[in-house]
Amino acid sequence: MKSPLLLLLAAAGLVHAADDKPLLAIPGQVIFESKLDGTPGSPWKFAKGKWELVDGVMRGAELEADKHGAVARLPNQLKDFIMEYEFKLEGARTTSLSINAVKDHMARILVTPKSVTLQRDDNDHEGPDKAVVFARFPADIQPGVWHKVRLEMVGDLMLGRVDELTAWGASDLFATPKAAPGFTVAGESADFRNLVIREASLNPEWDSVKAGLPKPGEKVAPAAAPAKGKGKAKKKAP
């Protein structure tokens, strides 16, 4: 008869294995990996905001003078990939994982203290194109608590996960070259750690996985109203 300890360890192993099951993509070689535990610098490009090392992790904060959210991006050009990292809010109103197209934005996972959104971004801003929200989940993202983000993009598909909240979407734009993966922060600050980007290929079981996920547009909670006195004219997403 197995001891209670062995049974507990076996159960933990089963849970871990279940968490690691492929979703949209099968992971391949590592493209970029960093614990984000050093002073922020090359190869990162810091377009806006203040980026520094705080308590052993990378912290980004918006600067009021910028009139724009803080932005940190890698110069990588990507094909099909999986990107994972952890974040925690330290006063930020929002943070996102943002992927650019050759020109303008492509896609993002946007997190606020009360919601998680997966979307195709507005790709022209001044033209007729508009963002497409594939899913917006109500959430309770507490400050000072680490949360895990996973973004998978293969062909014309994307899948996003924040903790256990998972959704997917499709767009012809996603089949074009992807560029400059990075973090954005609006408001006081957010912390980041344990970033890994891997090559990826389509999971042959994707149709089966997809059947267990909400369809694009099926889970779209209303967007939270802006706080009183904080309303601003529409501006480009960082």
Classify 181 as helix, strand or coil: strand
Q: What is the pLDDT of residue 126?
A: 75
What is the pLDDT of the chain when averaged over all its residues?
88
Nearest to 186 by CA among 58, 120, 118, 91: 91
User: Which residue type is seen at 22?
Assistant: P
Q: What is the pLDDT of residue 207?
A: 97
Overall average pLDDT of the 92-96 stretch: 97
**CB-based contacts of 119: which residues, under 8 Å, 6+ apart?**
107, 108, 110, 131, 132, 133, 134, 169
Domains and CATH numbers, the chain: 30-203 (2.60.120.560)
Question: What percent of the chain clears pLDDT 90, i.e. is strictly above it?
Answer: 79
Tally Cβ neighbours within 10 Å of residue 42: 6
If one compares 127 and 24, the residue with the highest pLDDT of the two is 24
Q: Distance between CA atoms of 29 and 58, rounded to whole angstroms?
A: 24
Decide the pairing of beta strands 77-78 and 178-187: antiparallel
Q: What is the pLDDT of residue 21?
A: 87
120-to-90, 132, 171 alpha-carbon distances in Å: 26, 5, 8
Overall average pLDDT of the 135-155 stretch: 97
Q: Distance between CA atoms of 51 and 39, rounded to whole angstroms?
A: 9
Q: Which helix (H) or strand (E) holds 9?
A: helix 4-19
- The pTM (predicted TM-score) of the whole model is 0.86
Of the chain, the end-to-end C-alpha distance in Å amounts to: 58
Q: What is the pLDDT of residue 237?
A: 61
Q: Which of 23-32, 141-150, 218-227 shows the lowest mean pLDDT across its residues? A: 218-227
Place of tokens 């990939």: 81
Q: What is the pLDDT of residue 19?
A: 53
Check pLDDT > 90 for residue 27: yes
